[in-house]
Structure 1
Amino acid sequence: MKGYQIYRNIRKRALIFGLPISLFALQMMGVIGSLLVVIFSFSLSLVLGAVLINATLYVVLLKLTNQPHLLHIGKVFPKAISNKKTTALNYED
């Protein structure tokens, strides 16, 4: 009799082909766009180019999924938030 493991990671994000739903939708938009280009202007080099572009898009999206710090450009919020007025006057002297 075959045994099955209990799936305990139910609260993790859903993945399709290793991509989150939003990035998978972006990948599918790229695939559909390249299919439209291939259908309306058919040539062998265009087909190979579309396959290459879709494959590189998939690899880039996988890399961004596995290493999300690559998109992190800078800090949005300061380390400390204060209501203290910022002034150049020095009252201690």
Structure 2
Amino acid sequence: MKKFKIYKNIRKRAMIMGLPISLFGLMMASVIGSLMLIIFSFSLSVIILVLLFNFGLYLGLSYSVKNPNLLHYQKVFPDTISNKKAFLLPPEENPNHHEEN
């Protein structure tokens, strides 16, 4: 009797050819545009350039999927959210700081 492995990674993103759905759609749009370019301007140099462009795009997209830190420049949300005013100066140098006696 055949045994089936339980799929536990149900929350991971769907991948097609190693790319998420949105990046795969971008890749397919590039391929379709390349085919149109080849059809309307048929020459050997255009075919080679289009193939190199699509191959480079695929390598770049797959590299960016494997290393998501490359496109992450800054944090979107702060670590804490507070209604207190944030003063960068220490209390003794801050003119707005009032000590309570």
SS at match of 1:12: coil
Q: Deviations over 1:15-39 (max 9, x none)?
A: 1111111110010001011111111
Note the 1:10-89 alignment, pairs <5 A.
10-86=10-86, 89=96
Residues 47, 71 of structure 1: CA spacing in aligned structure 2 closer, same or farther, 3 A cutoff?
same
Among 69, 78, 99, the alignment partner of 1:92 is 99
Q: Deviations over 1:32-88 (max 9, x none)?
A: 111111111111100000000000000011011111111101111222211113575
Which gives a bigger RCO, structure 1 or 2 (Cα 8 Å, sep 6+)?
A: 1
**Aligned equivalents of 1:21, 1:49: Cα separation in 2:** 25
Size of the aligned set, in residue pairs, is 92
Q: Matched residues, percent identical?
A: 52
What's the TM-score once normalised by structure 2's chain length?
Answer: 0.79
Bigger CA drift: 58-67 or 7-16? 7-16
Residues 76, 29 of structure 1: CA spacing in aligned structure 2 closer, same or farther, 3 A cutoff?
same
Structure 2: runs of 5 or more not aligned: 88-94
Residue in structure 2 matched with residue 6 of structure 1 by the alignment? 5
Residues 81, 69 of structure 1: CA spacing in aligned structure 2 closer, same or farther, 3 A cutoff?
same
After TM superposition, what 4+ stretches of structure 1 lie above 4 angstroms from structure 2? none
Whichever of the two has the greater Rg, that structure is: 2
Structure 1: runs of 5 or more not aligned: none
What's the TM-score once normalised by structure 1's chain length?
Answer: 0.85
